[in-house]
Amino acid sequence: MLVNNNNNMFPTINIKSIVPPVLKIFPRSEYLLQFDGCSKGNPGLAGAGAVIYNYDTELWGRSQFVGNKNTNNEAEYRGLIIGLEEALSMDIKHLSVEGDSLLVIKQMTREYKVKSEKLLPLHEEASQLAKQFDSITFTHIYRKNNKRADELSNIAVDMVIIK
């Protein structure tokens, strides 16, 4: 708003409150962990997978059989845990974490409470691991963007079925 001040030959500008829009920027660290879990039967045969990338280069990936009567959510947490453990063993200090389980991501960011007694110890374990990083972010992604971790979680189950 321009104000014409008679005492001054130049107009003055009154700025009320011009605030630029707040942009949510989710910076991605140098290291990315993607995790996944699957359960054939839910509960049923369950597997977990995790992969760590340095920018776009895969550094590490792992499949783990979770059990015979486990839920998908238990498998998702197990994928997260094995990935966090490996990232710590690689001495990674700053980590971006992505997963397609909205429940696990929201519980890790404390947007959702953990109500399941089966998930409480897994959440606590993952939270204790997460505290060991200098910085860590958790982001929900769609399954189509989590293909490698999904592949690894299914390999764990398929290996048991084939045997």
Domain boundaries, the chain: 30-162
Q: Is the pTM of this model over 0.85?
A: no
Six-digit token string for 37: 């879990």
Give the gyration radius of the chain's Cα atoms. Answer: 23
The string of pLDDT tens digits covering residues 32-47 is 999 999 999 999 999 9
CATH code: domain 30-162 is: 3.30.420.10
User: Cβ distance 76 to 101 under 8 Å?
Assistant: yes
Q: Over the chain, what is the mean pLDDT? A: 89
Q: Inform me whether the pLDDT recorded for 50 exceeds 90.
A: yes
Distance CA 114, CA 21 (A): 34
Q: Inform me whether the pLDDT recorded for 150 exceeds 50.
A: yes
pLDDT reported for residue 148: 98
The string of pLDDT tens digits covering residues 94-143 is 999 999 999 999 999 999 999 999 999 999 999 999 999 999 999 999 99
Six-digit token string for 30: 């140098």
Mean pLDDT value across residues 51-72: 97
